[in-house]
Chain A
Amino acid sequence: MNVLLPDTLPQALELLSQNGDAVPMAGGTDLMVHWHVRPEAHQHTFVDLSRLEALKPLSWTADMLVLGGLTTYWDVIRDERTREEFPLLVDAARQVGAIQIQARGTWAGNIVNASPAADGVPVLMAYDAIVVLESRRGREQVPLDRFYSGYKQMRRRPDELIVAIHVPRRRYSYQVFEKVGSRRAQAIAKVGLAVTRSDAGWRVVAASVAPTIRRCPTVERLLETGAAVASPSDLLPAIAQDVAPIDDIRSTAHYRTRVMARLLYHDLRDFWGK
């Protein structure tokens, strides 16, 4: 195992540009999980980001919350203002693993790990978060809802780091996060849902029901148009357009679809047209 320990962001970007297959390591809570059963990973070169102090804090500007490239769940849980303005970030953070993972795991790591079952990504996406990527070649900004292109496929080049995540400040009139696992804590989501409503409209983001976490434009349109929905099953056609759940070791496609429909139906009861 080869570990590089940059002290500054420019050094880190330099190392990544020189070592084409180097892997950035933040909290390591995804990277280290399978360590002992994946000896091939031991050959990789890792760029340990732990000394990049500048990427750790979260901060506020007039029109956005800025999560650093190394901001953890715990940082967000502790931030009073986030709790007020973006409560779903806190809800989701509290449901990530247990406190040990919340203290180490980062939002950027959650995004790049690209698990379809992640908890951080859906709430960020429901708040229209923007991913800020940087490499030696420069910076680019990608809206999170256009970041993924397929299972574990994303618009990030190997030499790029997520240096920040921008969350635009808006007035939200409705917001909810649901995580359905096989037990009440420390479980991987079988269905995840983040729904928000602001001046920008409805956002409905679903997890664990497609190869990537994604927005559900058909369901959003039903909400925007006030379409009549009288039961969970009325939502099934729209859901079928938006997501593609599978049977796997944790659940079934049937279950995932039905639960998504029921959560949407019951949680948004006041908003469906009659």
Chain B
Amino acid sequence: MLRREALAKLTGRERYVDDLPLDDFLWGMTVRSPAPRGRIASVRFGKDIDWSRFVVVDHRDIPGPNVVALIEQDQPVLAAESVRHVHEPVLLLAHRSRAAVRSAARAVEVVVAEEPAALDFRAVPAPAQIQYGKDNVLKHLKIEKGDVERALARAPVVVAGTYETGAQEHVYLETQGMIAYLEGGVLVVKGSMQCPYYVLKALQHALGRDETRVRVIQTPTGGGFGGKEEFPSHIALHAALLALKSGRPVKLIYDRGEDMAATTKRHPALVRHRTGLARDGRLLAQDIEVVIDGGAYVTLSPVVLSRAIIHAAGPYACDNVRITGRAMFTNAVPFGAFRGFGAPQSQFAGERHMDVIARTLGVDPVELRRVNLLKDGQTTATGQVIRDGTDRVAVMERALELARYREKGHEHAGFNATHPTMRRGMGLATFYHGAGFTGGGEAALKSRLRVAGRADGGVEVLSANIEMGQGTLTVFTELAANRLGLEPDDVIIAEADTTRVPNSGPTVASRTTMIVGGLVERACDDLRRRVGLDDASRGQAVKDAIRRWHREHPGEPPIGEAAYERPPGIEWDDKTYRGDAYGAFAWAAYVTEVEVDLRTCGARVIDFVAVQEVGKVLNPTLARGQVQGGVVQGIGWALMEECKWQQGAMANNQLTNYLIPTSDDVPPVRVAFVENPYPHGAGGAKGLGELPIDGPAPAVVNAVARATGTDPRAIPVTPERLMELMENAVRG
């Protein structure tokens, strides 16, 4: 099947928010804080500008509470008395001319009486820097299994290590953008987003409107990666406030510089491991501390921390585990959702640590993983019993074989001994990713979805889950068509418009195919029953029945509905952090070959093999694409993507100085799937979207370590950093 929106995108006909026709509108612009922390002493408007020609909005124009509703109600729509981070929005401007509003924004001076800022999440804050609770800790979490202290005290070997990961910018191709206008009494907000109902909720809350007076519509979205999970609520509110005040349509589109400077990024993290081991490498105790930088507001940090700690122990069996997590308040631009959601950070540390352990014990990293990988019947850190029938050692063996891991190891020994300037090495990571919301999250979402029968006998899927390049439109089409025996062309996916589609939950957490796709299937079944057919009816019979229904009930299309139901046997206790953290885990082993140029200390990935078990693969092309994209994003995070900070804000907020890999920086990514259908996922599928970002960084850095004889503990391993490591290694 041809990808649904493929031709529109290929030919440039697809219309993103900035391309939509809009009459008589104003351009919006945001005036931001220049300081990381302080009291707003004054806002000065430049003398050379006729301000009567501009729409100006500040916090006093907000009809409801000055809060962007999310987990904690702590983040203002517009700063009122004080600011907590550089680039915090203070004022909004709008004008007919984009150039005029840009110049005007520069002519506004926000004068801040500065106070001591907390800028390093790893440091204990000084008393004057405390701004949240008694210690700037936004969230504490803990997982405990067995008796870690006792097991560590008895372990023949204890290996400790500290690992760090940097922030990462999403670099979605389409920057953040929204338009807002009034249609009668209804405020319409359209734009690039992953979660239309999050935006709706935030608009209702701060604008004091019920859902009959707000309508949110997702426009074709050019990439998200989590960056359009919670952030679009902010820009939607800003566009809405300007539209409400001016009575005119308003368009607010960030350029790349503003987008990179002012929007969320992946949480930087620091992870400490203390691991007790038997001499043969069996894990006896894992004591892990995960600290993440939350930035200046809570945003989604508590849930990111949760996923980080749940994944921190890796896909291994260990009877004694203690994982503590802290999300720290700092005066940095708030960090937010990013593909992987904490798991890439903690698994970078875990998988790098496995290689450090192997080196310390003098055992083969493959053997170390083989003896520890979870077997069916064993439990994870939260006590979840794994029994899905997947042979995780076989997944690893498959990857090693495809990559010719052992042969390459021998070849490299010869190559490295003779080549004047190049060094090669292999790296491995074994890892996992839990799909869907954590613990009771999916049940709390209460996702609902509808499939309507159309007069022509085809169907329309009504869901709030969106296409952002990952293939939702295509997969939902395939699921509905297969379920009902229809052709893809008989299926329409409705625009995600909150006045039409039910809340099937956010497009995040690798949940869309596995969980919402299941609702598509069940809503199709419900529709079939509604039009009087049994579950075996397919194809023409379904179309005929839907047409008949339309003739008999003019103007009342038949509607099938489905609501989320927790799969049987899943238990989770949020207080003790024990139980079944996820309905399903996907498992993977990635193997990579790296070449380091001793002249430049640049590391280049020259081969990459990604093997994973993700349940049933519904669409091989899309699945492979997800893996390849995730791997490239992971290689970038491991080797080159580096946010340079100045006062808690990104200083290199341009694509010239924040580099992501080009096609020449990555090898062909060889992808293989082991299929083991998951009974509770759509068509047997498990979540796949995030898994591939968890493994590349540790695999690549393990390979760099092997090639160079260094021991990098922090990413990105830029050439500058690797040069230092290699010089230190020589000095001893």
Contact = CB atoms under 8 A, between A and B. Distances in A.
Interface stretch (B313-321, B482-490, B595-603): B595-603
Contacts of A157: none
B659 interface: yes
A254 B721 CA distance: 11
Given A39-B103, A183-B640, A184-B664, A251 B599 contact: no
Interface string A166-197: 00000000000000101111111001000000
Contacts of B662: 183-186
Contacts of B604: 184
A258 B640 CA distance: 19
Contacts of B469: none
Given A37-B257, A42-B99, A183-B662, A266 B420 contact: yes
Most buried by B among A180, A249, A254: A249
Contacts, number: 61
Given A255-B720, A266-B420, A39 B664 contact: no
A251 B103 CA distance: 32
A137 interface: no
Contact of A249 (B103, B257, B421, B652): B652
Contacts of A191: 600
B659 A262 contact: no
Interface in B691-732: 718-720, 723
A36 interface: yes
A185 to B, nearest CB: 5
A222 interface: no
A184 B640 CA distance: 11
Interface residues of A, number: 25
B102 A39 contact: yes
A252 interface: yes
A183 B659 contact: yes
Interface string A244-274: 0000011110110011001100100100000
A36 B665 CA distance: 30
A79 to B, nearest CB: 24
B110 interface: no
A252 B722 CA distance: 13
Q: How large is the interface on B (under 10, 10 to 19, 20 to 34, 35 or more residues)?
A: 20 to 34
B115 interface: no
B721 to A, nearest CB: 9
B418 interface: no
Interface string A182-222: 11111110010000000000000000000000000000000
Question: Which of the listed residues B99, B420, B718, B719 has the most CB atoms from chain A within 10 Å of its own CB?
Answer: B719
Contacts of A269: 420
Contacts of B574: none
A36 B102 CA distance: 9
Nearest to A40: B103
B640 A182 contact: yes
B55 interface: no
Contact of A263 (B257, B599, B640, B723): B599
B257 A182 contact: no
A17 B191 CA distance: 50
B554 to A, nearest CB: 54
Contacts of A180: 600, 602
A186 B662 CA distance: 8
Interface in B624-658: 640, 644, 651-652, 656-657
B255 interface: yes
B161 interface: no
Interface string B591-616: 00000001111101000000000000
A258 B659 CA distance: 22
Contacts of A36: 102, 255
Of B103, B602, B720, most buried by chain A (CB within 10 Å of CB) is B720
Contacts of B255: 36-37
B102 A255 contact: no
B647 to A, nearest CB: 15
Nearest to A39: B103
Contacts of A188: 656-657
Contacts of B222: none
Contacts of B601: 255, 259
Contacts of B99: 39, 42
B513 to A, nearest CB: 32
Contact of B718 (A182, A258, A262): A182
B731 to A, nearest CB: 13
Contacts of B106: 39
Contacts of A250: 657
Nearest to A184: B664
B644 A249 contact: yes
Interface string B375-388: 00000000000000
Given A39-B103, A249-B652, A255-B720, A262 B665 contact: no
A131 B225 CA distance: 49
A193 to B, nearest CB: 11
A183 B641 CA distance: 10
19 contacts: A36-B102, A182-B719, A183-B640, A183-B659, A183-B664, A184-B664, A185-B662, A191-B600, A249-B651, A250-B657, A251-B720, A255-B601, A255-B723, A259-B600, A259-B723, A262-B598, A262-B600, A263-B600, A266-B421
Interface of A: 36-37, 39, 42, 180, 182-188, 191, 249-252, 254-255, 258-259, 262-263, 266, 269
Q: Please provide the 7 A-B residue pairs with the shortest distance between their CB atoms, ordered closest to farther.
A: A262-B599, A184-B664, A255-B720, A185-B662, A185-B664, A182-B659, A183-B665
Given A180-B602, A183-B640, A183-B659, 10 more contacts: A36-B102, A39-B106, A183-B661, A183-B664, A185-B665, A191-B600, A249-B657, A254-B723, A255-B719, A263-B600
